[in-house]
A = this chain, B = another copy of it.
Amino acid sequence: MTTERNPENTRMKILGAAFQEIHKHGYQGMRVDNVLKNTNLKKGALYHHFAGKQALGYAVLEELIQPRIAELWIDPLNDFGNPLEGIHALFEGLDAVWSDESFILGCPLNNLAQEMSPIDEGFRERIEKFFQYWKASIAEALKTGQEKGIVDISINTDDCAIFILSSIEGALGMTKNHQDKEIYYSCGKELKRYLNTLRA
C-alpha cells in the first residue's frame, strides 16, 4: 500500500480547492467549509497547514496565482525578438491555454486586486508588488526593443507598460462580465493597433 499520509500533497489539495473557490466567489465569498468539502478533508487538516482563512488566501495568491501568471505572461516576454509582437502574441495565445471557464471567472490576480485592495493591506501590497514586477518586465522588454531599433526611442516605456497591463486586465474584465470572447478578440485587435504606434 502506498503511503496514506502525504502532508505536502494534502496541503496542495487544500490550496487547489481554495483557489477554485476564490476564483469563482472571491476571497470574501470563499467558504472554508466548502473548500474542505471539495477535498474530503476536515478542519483539523486545514488549520494544521494554515494559520487561518487569511493565511490560506495569501498562500493561494503567492503559491498558485502569481507563479502561474509569471509563467504565462512574464517569463515568455524574453522569448520574442520583437516585444511589440511578443506582447500581442501572448494576449492572443491566452485563448489556447485558458479554458472557457477561466474567461468567465476572469484573471484571478486582478479579481483579488479589485476585491481586496481597499480592505486588506496584506493582499494589496502583495498584488501591487507583483503588478510592478510585471510592469517592469514589460518596460524592460520595450527598452531592449529600443536598443535594437525596433521600438520608438521617444516613448516612455513605463507609461506604455502600465497602459498595456491595464488594457489587458481591462479587456479580460470586460470579457468576464459579457461572458463573450468576441470582446476579448476585439480588444486584441485594438491592442495591436496601439502597439504598432510604438514601433520605431
Contacts and interface: CB of A to CB of B under 8 A. Distances in A.
Nearest to A26: B115
Interface string A102-132: 0011100011011101110000100110010
A104 B162 CA distance: 17
A63 interface: no
Nearest to A194: B194
A151 interface: no
A89 to B, nearest CB: 18
The oligomer's copy count stands at 2
Contacts of A106: 114, 117-118
Given A119-B29, A167-B167, A113 B160 contact: no
Interface in A155-200: 156, 158-160, 162-163, 165-171, 173-174, 176-179, 183, 186-187, 189-191, 193-194, 196-197
Contacts of A124: 177, 179
Interface of A: 24-26, 28-29, 104-106, 110-111, 113-115, 117-119, 124, 127-128, 131, 156, 158-160, 162-163, 165-171, 173-174, 176-179, 183, 186-187, 189-191, 193-194, 196-197
